[in-house]
Structure 1
Amino acid sequence: MNTFALTLALIGSAAAPLDIARAADIKPTVILVHGAFADSASWNGVAAKLRGDGYNVIGAANPLRSVQGDASAVANIVKSVKGPVVLVGHSYGGAVISAAANGLANVKSLVYVAAFAPDQGETALELSGRYPGGTLGGALAEPVALANGGKDFYIQQDKFHQQFAADVPKAQAELMAMGQRPIAEAALTEAAGAPAWKNLPSYFIYGTADKNIPAAALGFMADRAKSRKTIKVAGASHVVMTSHPAAVAKLIEEAAQAK
């Protein structure tokens, strides 16, 4: 081997460990998936904390039309990211990330924020009614008829604060109610496929005063998914990420840093 070739070989052998070290130091991208009656702005406090700690954050626009269709939309975003991803879902967004992560090698972990983690064949509607304590049905407005024969659901604006965001300042909750995204009935009644939480590390955080998904249901799903860490925030509403962003961001960072 001539001197030039030997020099290149030595440089290459030295660079390989460095490349591996750099890859290990890469922080995962955090993709935040909102649920029904919310939008990506509901994650603002969490996103600000994560960004301040050096994480790249993407707020996915969840279509709220169907579990598989919504999961496909989120999966496309995950595929566009080079490097590891922590996938985070709120409420119905939990059903979406459970489906979206299947087959995606760069998803490192799943974080469920007051979120559904359905098993195969289960629906969000059935899970929310399996345990007592949910009062969403009585807070819904008259459904909006869709051209395809389906229905869109909203929460009545005058009931939004107490039902959805009781621990958020009233003025903020009123703005959230005005900008809420509707969910199609079809999405709530679609049976889930095989869930990614059976194969990926999962983390859960929820409030004990959740009126959309009873705390007992959330605890059941966390235990079933063999959650690596479950945090119950005393007195928190369904939008625990809005009212307690630091606690939610901390758990996401733990999921991002876990080996």
Structure 2
Amino acid sequence: SGSGGATGATVVLVHGVFADASGWNAVTARLLKAGHQVVAPANPLRDPAGDSAYVSSVVATLPGPVILVGHSYGGVVVTNAARGHDHVKALVYVAAFAPDEGESALQLAGRFPGSELEGALMTRPLPGGTDADGYIDPSRFHDVFAQDLPPATTAVMAVSQRPGSLGGLSGPSGVPAWRSLPSWYVVAGADRVLPPAVQRFMAGRAGSRTVEAKGASHVVMMSRPDLVVRQIEAAYRATR
């Protein structure tokens, strides 16, 4: 049921660390029902340059216009993946990192107090011994990552979380696409991973049109999908 590449936008939903593309399911279902084309690629979660190059390669195959949407570390990826694509018309950040050049996700998360991520991080060494994968300790997953979802749901998410390499989480971002593209932002008002103060700071710096989901956890796209869809549709309308 899409409206076709010629008349509708393609919405690209990029997930972050400790999650996968299924985190977008509620948003995806609503966008598809509204007739949008949607692609939710697998973010490799290895390093900002490589992850962005991968998503950029996906974007290159899509008809325009394209709206790039990032959650959490996915914001780092869309900030870089949008570069060099004239058919990318807007960025939407959903409780997401919107880094400037040289900034990393871990650095930004600690810019203002309030993140509980560091204390909940669990690592597993990667082959070769030079890097490690970061997970959220399953016993802390509900309270830190997704406190507004049912514990039965977060228990399954904690088991199947996709880790991010520590090298990737601390890797520097490139020239930000938000300097040249209009952006929208959903601030998660009770985020314990990426403090709301940091989200507001990044949204303000990028000139993003911002809405705040009061009381929402880091996974605002799962707990408040309607609000997130409204921001994506606002970006879509503005770029038509």
TM-score (norm 1): 0.89
Q: CA deviation at 1:26?
A: 1.1
| Aligned-partner Cα distance in 2 for 1:237–1:24 | 34
Number of residue equivalences: 236
What are the residue-to-residue correspondences of 1:1-259 with 2, within 5 Å?
26-141=7-122, 143-148=123-128, 149-227=130-208, 229-259=209-239
Tell me if structure 2 keeps the 8 A contact 1:206–1:238.
Answer: no
Q: Which runs of 5+ in 1 are unaligned?
A: 1-21
Alpha carbons of 1:217 and 1:83: their partners in 2 closer, same or farther (altered >3 Å)?
A: same
| Aligned-partner Cα distance in 2 for 1:28–1:48 | 16
Q: What is the identity, as a one-letter code, of the residue corresponding to 1:208?
A: G
Q: CA deviation at 1:181?
A: 0.3
Pair member with larger Rg: 1
Displacement over 2 Å in runs of 4+: 22-25
**Could you say what the CA RMSD is over the residues aligned between the two structures, in angstroms?**
1.4
Greater helix proportion: 1
Tell me if structure 2 keeps the 8 A contact 1:37–1:155.
Answer: yes
* Aligned sequence identity (%): 48
Report the secondary structure of 1:60's partner residue: coil
Q: What is the identity, as a one-letter code, of the residue corresponding to 2:219?
A: V
- 1:14 corresponds to: none
Q: CA deviation at 1:163?
A: 0.5
Tell me if structure 2 keeps the 8 A contact 1:210–1:238.
Answer: yes
Alpha carbons of 1:248 and 1:35: their partners in 2 closer, same or farther (altered >3 Å)?
A: same
Q: CA deviation at 1:24?
A: 10
Per-residue CA deviation, residues 159-187 of structure 1 (Å, 9 max, x unaligned), is 10010000011111111111100000111
| Aligned-partner Cα distance in 1 for 2:202–2:69 | 15
